[in-house]
Amino acid sequence: MTATRTQDVAATIRQVELLEEAGADVIRIAVDNPKDVAALAEIRRARPRANLSIDLQENYRLAERVAPFVQKLRYNPGHLHHIEREKPIHEKVRYLVNVARAHGCAMRIGVNAGSVDPAKLAKYAHDHSITPMVESALDHCAMLDDLGFDQYCVSLKDSDPNKVIDANVLFADARPDVPLHLGVTEAGMPPDGVIKTRVAFEQLITRGIGDTIRVSLTLPFENKGEEVTIGRRILDDIAGGRFRSVPRFEQHGMNIISCPSCSRVENEAFIDLAQNVRSMTEYAKEHDITIAVMGCRVNGPGETDDADLGMWCAPSFVNLKRGPQTIGQFTYDEILGRLRVELDKLIEEKTVSSRV
């Protein structure tokens, strides 16, 4: 997936080139507003042979404007309620199917742990996060089936590889006929992000689950092709019987999750921030603590809720959270110092409670 702002046409074309050169079969670009659509048209003109999938973020009505330029439309069931709230979801899905049909596009139902349909989430306890994801995917498959549309695949992504495994196994059991696109979202930086992804892919692909993959890593823009080469290396290793994973991914010590960036990223400085968080927290690497670093205000707030400490990045400041509670907003210069204060507090509390 391109990590740059889609409206930065030159930078996004460069991303497409890098991904194509690295061997990507499908390249996803996010589109959120009419200016992104205009940029997409230019990107398509510059890369006429690229196999493009479009990420319809909150604004599903853009589908009819982007479909002429792309091969696939990806929608997130959890985002369909954002606009035209009074309109039933199945009508929105019908609209998407009609657009896809009219333009010969495939579709992906892309379910993400951080943005699951609120109606599904409300039915289950917070620590029961896989069921709402799988249920949401199954419901949307049923809607597409009812509409007689079969050119679709599903993805069920989480930043925890164990949840990715469990959700995909559950889904594949219920719908073995539906192709699955695999990925660990916000896996973070190499090498941890690669290990998490490898564990999930090894566990799923060896069970015959998965048809396409995406590796999501926080990388400098110019290195984005590594997502593809790493993904192909993992596939080669699996095909060659070279496995590295244990049956479950056991997370011990500091766990830093960070998003791979996309067109919504609000300040590229977040990539440096993620790397600096890793260096700064080195002193606490033995503690079982999860810190999340996310690139934007749209998915950042939700995707950081499950972390012990979370940051989501705005253009000129960073929002710091502890679990779902907001601590405050800090400049990019201030944030590391403030994170350290909160981390020390957390370690102290955990140490005290372990003594009780």
User: Which stretch, 81-89, 200-208, 293-301, 319-327, contacts ligand SF4 (CB under 6 A)?
Assistant: 293-301
19 binds ligand SF4 (CB under 6 A): no
256 binds ligand SF4 (CB under 6 A): no
Would you list the DSSP string of 186-199? TB-STTHHHHHHHH
The least CB distance from residue 54 to ligand SF4, in Å, is: 14
- Asked whether 276 and 16 are in contact (CB, 8 A), the reply is no
CA distances from 293 to 225, 243, 276 (A): 21, 29, 11
299 binds ligand SF4 (CB under 6 A): yes
* H helix runs in 47-160, sequence order: 63-66, 89-103, 118-121, 130-146
298 binds ligand SF4 (CB under 6 A): yes
CB nearer to ligand SF4: give 105 or 292.
292
Contacts of 155 (CB under 8 A, 6+ apart): 108, 109, 110, 111, 180, 181, 182, 183
Length of the chain measured in residues: 356
Site string for ligand SF4, 158-197 (x = CB under 6 A): ----------------------------------------
CB nearer to ligand SF4: give 178 or 187.
187
Would you list the DSSP string of 195-245? HHHHHHHHHHHTTT--SEEEE-----GGGTHHHHHHHHHHHHHHHTT----
260 binds ligand SF4 (CB under 6 A): yes
The least CB distance from residue 56 to ligand SF4, in Å, is: 13
214 binds ligand SF4 (CB under 6 A): no
Phi, psi (deg, nearest 5) at residue 8: -85, 85
155 binds ligand SF4 (CB under 6 A): no
3-state SS, residue 122: coil
Q: Which of 40, 130, 257, 296 binds ligand SF4 (CB under 6 A)?
A: 296
CB nearer to ligand SF4: give 149 or 332.
332
- Asked whether 115 and 93 are in contact (CB, 8 A), the reply is no
293 binds ligand SF4 (CB under 6 A): no
What DSSP state is assigned to residue 308?
S
CA distances from 133 to 79, 168, 219, 333 (A): 13, 10, 27, 37
Q: Which of 265, 274, 311, 318 binds ligand SF4 (CB under 6 A)?
A: 265
The least CB distance from residue 266 to ligand SF4, in Å, is: 7
The least CB distance from residue 300 to ligand SF4, in Å, is: 5
294 binds ligand SF4 (CB under 6 A): yes
Rounded-to-integer distance, Cα 125 and Cα 229, Å: 38
Q: Which of 26, 138, 219, 262 binds ligand SF4 (CB under 6 A)?
A: 262
Phi, psi (deg, nearest 5) at residue 145: -60, -45
300 binds ligand SF4 (CB under 6 A): yes
70 binds ligand SF4 (CB under 6 A): no
Q: What is the CA radius of gyration of the chain?
A: 20
132 binds ligand SF4 (CB under 6 A): no
CB nearer to ligand SF4: give 203 or 304.
304
Interacting residues with ligand SF4 (CB under 6 A): 259-262, 264-265, 294-296, 298-300, 303
